[in-house]
Amino acid sequence: MAEWKQEYRPDSPSTGALRPGDFASVLERNINVLRDKRQKEENQAGLQDRMANAITRFSGSMLFVYVHLALVVGWIAVNAGLIPSIAPFDPSFVILATVASVEAIFLSTFVLISQNRAAAEADRRAELDLQTNLLSEHEITRLLSLTIAIAARLGVEEAQDPSLKELQKHVAPEKVLDRIAEDENGNGA
């Protein structure tokens, strides 16, 4: 697990040059890793997912609005008899309503497909956040224990604070989830 961590060295030169391990280089590395991972996932997406995303992206653009506005205005102008050189072909606008309804059905399906994929990606990110937070909590608890031991050895009175003993306990995620579920069901204290 330690292979993904990089050493932090606060003694980097203040000239702006970055050395491996500097905060900025770690930040840059993380940004690059996440961008590359996202790109890889997009490349591995199936044809259907890519098509759904492309259609959803286009249907959510102003170009889509302008094209539809032009088509609907043109359709209405022709079928209302406002353009004498073209004979009306849908004077009751039934065909327009049917086309719009079918288009709405397909567009909503494409949006749902894209949302499902985005929700799955959000779930993966949330899982990563949870794992990172649990690891951080464990590391902070260990650091607190070491700090308390050092403070006790040096005779610092604050090291005897009873609240520190509580902070030294590791968080059990399953107990937190159980408590959240109890509170949601109205069974909590």
Prediction pTM value: 0.58
DSSP one-letter string for 41-101: HHHHS-HHHHHHHHHHHHHTSHHHHHHHHHHHHHHHHHHTT-STTS--S-TT-HHHHHHHH
pLDDT tens digits, 8-49 = 444 444 444 556 556 678 778 888 888 888 888 888 888 888
In tens digits, the chain (189 residues) has pLDDT values of 444 444 444 444 444 455 655 667 877 888 888 888 888 888 888 888 888 888 999 999 999 999 999 999 999 999 999 999 999 999 999 999 999 999 999 999 988 988 988 898 899 889 888 888 888 888 888 898 888 888 888 888 877 777 877 777 777 778 888 888 888 888 645
DSSP 90: -
